[in-house]
Amino acid sequence: MMTTLCRRYMKCVAQQNTLKLSSRSLVVVFVAAFILVNMLLLHWMKFDNDENPSENEWNSFQRKMYRPDIRVHIDSELRRHIDVDKFETLRSIISSLGLSANQTIVPYDVNIDRRKNISRKATCAIVGSSGILTGSGCGYEIDQHQFVIRENLAKTDNFEYDVGNRTDLMTSNKALTQVLDHCLRGREIDCYLEYRDRLVALNNVYFLIITFRDWGNSDQKRFVKFIRRARNENLSLDIRIPNKPIKSIIKALWSLKNDTSSGLMIFTIATTFCDKISLYGFYPFDTSPTGERLRNHYYNYGSWKGVHDMKKEYRLYQKLHKEGIIRHVVGRCR
C-alpha cells in the first residue's frame, strides 16, 4: 500500500516539474518573440525614416508589413467590380463627342511641350480633395494605379499616407491659374516660394489647363502671361490645353444645370484612355458616412461653395459605381 502511494506521489511530482518546465519554456519563447518583433519594428521604422522622413513612421511600417499585395488587391477589385461592356459603351459615347485625350490634352506649344500623347492605361486613379481622405490610408493604393490624376495643385507632402505622392497629370482651373499668374510675378510676392516649389515638384508631369478654351480673350491673355512666367522660372511643365471649348459639351452629356466642375471634366476625359477608373476624394459633405466631422479639403478648410452642384455630381459618381462602370472609393482603404 505504502509503495503504491509513494509511486503515485513521485509520478505527480514528476508531472508538476514537467509543467513547470513547459511554462518556463513558453515564457522564454514569448519573451524572445516579443524582442524579435520589436527589433523588426525598429528596423522598418528606421528604414522608412531614412528613405522618406516626411512620412509618419508607424504608417510606413504598416504599409510595408500589411500591404504587400495591394496592387493585386486593386486589380482584383477592379476586375470584380467593373462591367467592361458598360464601361466601353460609355467610352464610345464620350469619344464620339470629340473628348478623347488626343483632342483635349494637346501641347500648348509643340516646340516645347514634346512629350508623347497619353497612351491607353489599364488602371487610373483620379484623386479629389475632399476631407473624406483624411485618415483613409488610401495613399499606397492610389500610387499603385498605372496613371494618377490630381486636381488644382492639391498638396501631397505630409499627406502621403492618405493620398499618395505620385502624379502623372495635374489639372488647373481658372481660379488657380489666376493665383499662379499672381504668385510667380517675383520673389517679393508672399506666395511666390510656395507655388514655385509646388510647380517644381511637377517635373515632367502633364499640366492641363482644362477650361482654357472656355475662357474669354482677357483670361486667355492672362494665362499666356502665366506661361511666360513659368518658362522664365525654368519650370519643366508639360503644359496642355484642350483644342476646343469642352465645358458645355460635358455639361450637356451629364444633364447638369450648373457649371461642370474640373473634377467631372477630367473624369469624363479619362474614360477615353483609362480602361478602369478608381475615384478617391470625391465626397462633398462635412460629415462622413459614419458621422465623423470632416474638413472640406484634406489639406485645409477650403469651401465647396461655388457655381458647381457638387452633390449632384457625387450622386452621378455613385450611380456609375453601382452600375459597375467605375469604382468610387468612399471611406478607408485596405
DSSP string for residues in 240-291: EE-SS--HHHHHHHTT-SSBPPHHHHHHHHHTTTEEEEEEES----SB-TTS
- 3-state secondary structure (DSSP) of residue 54: coil
User: Where does the pLDDT of residue 171 fall: very low under 50, low under 70, confident under 90, or very high at 90 and above?
Assistant: very high
CA gap 229, 159 in Å, rounded: 28
CA gap 282, 25 in Å, rounded: 54
Question: Is the pLDDT higher at 170 or at 14?
Answer: 170
- The candidate with the shortest Cα–Cα distance to 30, out of 19, 18, 22, is 22
pTM of the predicted model, to two decimals? Answer: 0.78
pLDDT exceeds cutoff 50 at 196: yes
Domain ranges of the chain: 16-63, 70-329
pLDDT exceeds cutoff 50 at 85: yes
Location of C-alpha cell 467593373: 82
What is the structure's pLDDT at 48? Answer: 39
Catalytic residue chosen out of the listed positions 145, 297, 308, 328: 308
Tens digits of residue pLDDT in 14-73: 444 444 434 455 444 454 555 554 554 444 443 333 333 344 443 443 444 445 577 788
CA gap 42, 20 in Å, rounded: 33
Is 3.90.1480.20 the CATH classification of the domain at 70-329? Answer: yes
Check if 297 is active-site: no
What is the structure's pLDDT at 33? Answer: 55
Averaged pLDDT, 247-274: 96
Strands 238-241 and 121-127: unpaired
pLDDT exceeds cutoff 50 at 230: yes
47's grid cell: 528604414
CA gap 76, 66 in Å, rounded: 17
User: Where does the pLDDT of residue 312 fall: very low under 50, low under 70, confident under 90, or very high at 90 and above?
Assistant: very high
Averaged pLDDT, 66-87: 82
Averaged pLDDT, 249-264: 95
Tens digits of residue pLDDT in 101-160: 988 998 887 666 566 788 999 999 999 999 999 999 999 999 999 999 999 999 999 999
